[in-house]
Structure 1
Amino acid sequence: MSNIPAQVYKTLDQLVNGDVDNFEITIQNPNKKGEGFMGEMLFVSLKHKKSHKEVNVIVKQAFREKAIRDSIPIRDIFMNEIYFYSKIWARLDKFQQQVPTKYHFQKIPKCLASVSNENSEYLVMENLKLQHFQTHEKKIPLSKEHYQLIVREYGKFHGISFAYKALYPEEYAEMAKGLVDIYADMSGREFFQNGIKYLYEIGIESLQPGVDDAVIEKFRPYLENYLDVFVDSVKLKTKYTVITHGDCWSNNMMFKYYDAKNVTDVRFFDFQLAREASPCCDLSYCIYSGAPKEVLQDLDRYLQIYHDSLSTTLREFGCDPEEIYPLQALKKDWKIFCKLGITMGLMIWKFKTTYDEELKDFTDITSDEQEQIFLTGYDKDAFRKRARDLLCHLYESDFL
């Protein structure tokens, strides 16, 4: 039981039908800095002492230090994810059973158990590594094949939510109301506001005077209105809302490959920031935080792939895509809600290019120094390349 909290130990006991005393428990490979800003992950292996039967799980546990919990909404963040798995996904997964299996969205790992008390929260998840899923090297942009797969699956995920909303509007509204908008909470915290301003400042530094003057001129107002830009992208409402993933960067996805290059499957996890919002919040965050230039230049193609998948899913539930979410409405929403993707894209590229030895989580800084989470040493050349590609794309597409 060493290093296993008592509540988690009881949960593991339930997973092995009350026989945990006959299992050897080992903890392997805790997550690295920068892979869990609000808590830590334990990779737990239970091996039966006689039969050698093995059970492998991941335990996500929230930071328990009072100073951190007082300054960051950690409990809300973890309770949000617990609510997503226990209430929202349980209901949406049951709902999709009415259509043929080939149209199901099955890209979320199983949550085997969750525990929450006043000052402690845990989730016990299946270990996807044992199913040959792997994380993507964060410093390398995702390929066009990755994005074809990702947007197709987001189309299914959002499609189920849209269909449930259309067919059972009252039940959907009650379900969605249980989610906490963590983005809205964070936007009111001074350290996060200062972080956004800093990201826009280093973003504009990636542009080249004399070459990118038009882009600089168009982006400059973001430095003055950085908070309004972010808050508007979070709080503005449209009738085209669904349950969103919320935290859509590559570290919250795992992939399976046929060989070294050909990606065949994906799993999405970490639903701590799940909320009701425009699908464009998920899509723009995902694309702007990890796409190479060639994907940005071909954005319309990926939006079409997404919408085709969404439409197929909706039709299976007897819904008309042109009524639920027409493609022209998606493109109109993109101009509004991609602002969230801009902010989160710059933030994630900053984290992705941060030197490993410089990575921090909230246990490394005091409550009055939280903006230090952003002010780490990083590969400026690598960041500036990604930021410039993004900002030039936004200008050329008239999204700024």
Structure 2
Amino acid sequence: MSINNLEKVIEPYLKGSEKQFISYETKNLLPAGENYGSTMLSLDINVQNKNGQQETIHCVAKTLPPKKMQEFFNTKVTFKKEVAFYTSIVPMLEEFGNERNVKDLMHFTAKCIGARISSDPNSQDVNEDAVIILENLKHQGFSVGNRFVGFNLETTKLILKHMAKMHGTFIAFKLAKPVEFQEKIGCYLDKALDFVAPDDMLDNLVKHVQRHASRNLNCIPLLSKIDENTRKMKGYFVYSKYREPFGTIVHNDLWTNNMLIKYLNDEPIDVVFVDFQVLRYGSPARDVLFFLYSSVQLDVLKTELDELIEFYHSELVNTIKLLKCDISLFSYEAYLEEMKIAAEDTEFCHQMFMLTPLYTIEGGAIDLSEWEPTNIAPENEEILDARYYDRLHFIILDFAKRKWI
């Protein structure tokens, strides 16, 4: 769990503060199963100012996953992309906000302390010394939600507001500066994972989903549709459909563990998104659908889902308008069509693929070094939280009701 030449990574951050690196300590941040795409470390950096006073900077270090996971996550592409997000794209968007008199535009991201793709500053290739160092938001009062329970209505609306700000900011930048967007941002968004799901993996996944769907009699007539739409996961990581003008940055993995919430007197007051390694260009509806169906309390979804979809759209339009761009093409009707396309094309299979790891109980997940794609359908079903089944049945039946499958 060492980080080679850590002082070089954080040197630009310390330079302006006249602080000197002294030492650091690390430990694993997350138990097995809470993150598969990287190794996450809690990092405490000890520094000293010019008067000899010492302090600790609390950080999180993101490093490469074990070698066998690097191919699945296309780490040579995705890690470089995330480094570029924090070191190039975020500052560029902040400057865009300043130009439009909108301060703190990228507030939904964590502050980057330092990052590199290689120990060789002249290299363009990701190696084992790649690291991203972010502020540890838990020391500022942020926390991760309970993935088995999901978010309540108030927290959900705050998350959607920040999500709309993220999507809307990139749309506005694209509209205002199309050439710069393509040359300086779009170049990072054409690739993410390059993984084509093997047939044996999909066979296992379909059988797993159908078996548990059959526990609800209303799902039984939908078994063939479950098969057909779950198998769309084969090409999920390679392409996606979207329509202009809605094309924007898509996080692609916005669920409970990839967002931190700050509360004051039990009221949510702030949200930060993390883990941007699989971001790409696509439909914002992908993030909205995946978040809502994977991470919001079922009671909220059953009564407020349509209102939440409308709320997100309103916030998206408000962000584009705030950044002084034309909103005439972003009607609610056009956005509903965007939702339908995303649901049919990617987000049903995405839910079916991710629901099992999302509902694997703590201690039940396979360690990163032992994980295989076929493990997406566990043989030991005792590792699944009981709430998995209600979530699964609701998603299947609601997608069918909306004619998305």
The TM tier, using the shorter chain, reads 0.7 to 0.9
- Give the number of aligned pairs: 385
Alignment partners' CA distance in 2, 1:389 and 1:311: 29
CA distance 1:147–1:124, shift in 2 (3 Å): same
1:371 pairs, out of 364, 371, 374, with 374
Q: CA deviation at 1:351?
A: 1.4
Q: Distance in 2 between matches of 1:15 and 1:137?
A: 33
Paired residue for 2:5?
Answer: 7
- For 1:300, the equivalent position in structure 2 comes to 306
Counterpart position of 2:121? none
* Counterpart position of 1:131: 140
Offset from partner CA, 1:107-146 (integer Å, 9 cap, x none): 1101221111242221011111111101112221211112
CA distance in 1, matches of 2:268, 2:25: 31
What are the superposed Cα offsets for residues 346-367 of structure 1, whole Å, 9 maximum, x if unpaired? 33331132132221243124xx
1:121-200 → structure 2 map (5 Å cutoff):
121-174=130-183, 175-183=185-193, 185-186=194-195, 188-190=196-198, 194-200=200-206
Q: Structure 1's 48 and 288: CA in aligned 2 closer, same or farther, altered over 3 A?
A: same
Give the whole-Å Cα distance in 2 for the aligned partners of 1:61 and 1:255.
Answer: 23
* Paired position in structure 1 for 2:286: 281
* Pick aligned residue for 1:312 from 295, 312, 318: 318
Change (3 A) 1:361 1:172: farther
Give the TM-score, by structure 2 length.
0.86
Contact 1:246 1:272 in 2 (8 A): no
Question: 1:90 and 1:211 mapped to 2: Cα distance?
Answer: 52
**Counterparts in 2 of 1:92 and 1:194: CA distance versus 1, 3 Å:** farther
Q: 1:259 aligns with which of 257, 265, 269?
A: 265
Pick closer, same or farther for the CA change 1:255–1:197 going to 2, 3 Å. farther
Alignment match, 1:272: 277
Letter in 2 for 1:77: T
The answer (yes or no) to whether the contact 1:84–1:274 under 8 Å persists in 2 is no
Q: Give the alignment's Cα RMSD to 1 decimal.
A: 2.6
The change in CA–CA distance for 1:263 and 1:210 in structure 2 (over 3 A counts) is closer
8 A Cα contact 2:82 2:277, kept in partner: yes
**Residues 290 and 349 in structure 1, CA contact (< 8 A), matched pair in contact too:** no
Q: Describe the shift of the 1:13–1:170 C-alpha distance in structure 2 as closer, same or farther (beyond 3 A).
A: closer
Q: 1:60 to 1:244 in 2, by over 3 A?
A: same
> Which blocks of at least 5 consecutive residues in structure 2 are unaligned?
119-124
What are the residue-to-residue correspondences of 1:18-167 with 2, within 5 Å? 20=20, 23-48=22-47, 50-63=52-65, 65=67, 67-70=68-71, 72-101=73-102, 104-117=105-118, 118=125, 119-120=127-128, 121-167=130-176
| Distance (whole Å) between structure 2 residues aligned to residue 103 and residue 39 of structure 1 | 28
Whether contact under 8 Å (2:32, 2:366) holds in the other structure is yes
Code of the aligned partner of 1:79: K
Question: Could you say if the C-alpha distance between residues 74 and 316 of structure 1 is closer, same or farther in structure 2, counting changes exceeding 3 Å?
Answer: same
Change (3 A) 1:102 1:20: closer
Distance (whole Å) between structure 2 residues aligned to residue 382 and residue 27 of structure 1: 34
Instruction: Give deviations 1:34-64, integer Å, cap 9, x for gaps.
Output: 2221221221112347513221211111035
- 1:313-335 Cα offsets, whole Å, 9 max, x none, are 11122223232x21111111111
CA contact (8 A) 1:255 1:263 kept: yes
Alpha-carbon distance change, 148 to 219 in structure 1, aligned in 2, over 3 angstroms: farther
Kept in 2: contact 1:35–1:251 (CA 8 A): yes
Conserved? CA contact 2:148–2:385, under 8 Å = no
Q: Which moved more, 1:276-285 or 1:32-41?
A: 32-41
* Larger CA deviation: 28-37 vs 228-237: 228-237
The 2-side partners of 1:45 and 1:288 are apart by 36
**Residue 73 of structure 1: CA displacement?**
1.4
Q: What is the distance in 1 between the residues matched to 2:200 and 2:6?
A: 37
Per the normalisation by structure 1, the TM-score is 0.87
Contact 2:229–2:348 (8 Å) recurs in 1: no
Whether the 8 Å CA contact 2:247–2:284 is kept in 1: the answer is yes
Amino acid at match of 1:278: S
Q: Secondary structure at the match of 1:243?
A: strand
Structure 1 unaligned regions, length at least 5: none
Are 1:360 and 1:373, in contact at CA under 8 Å, matched by a contact in 2? Answer: no
User: How far has the Cα of 1:197 moved from its partner?
Assistant: 4.4
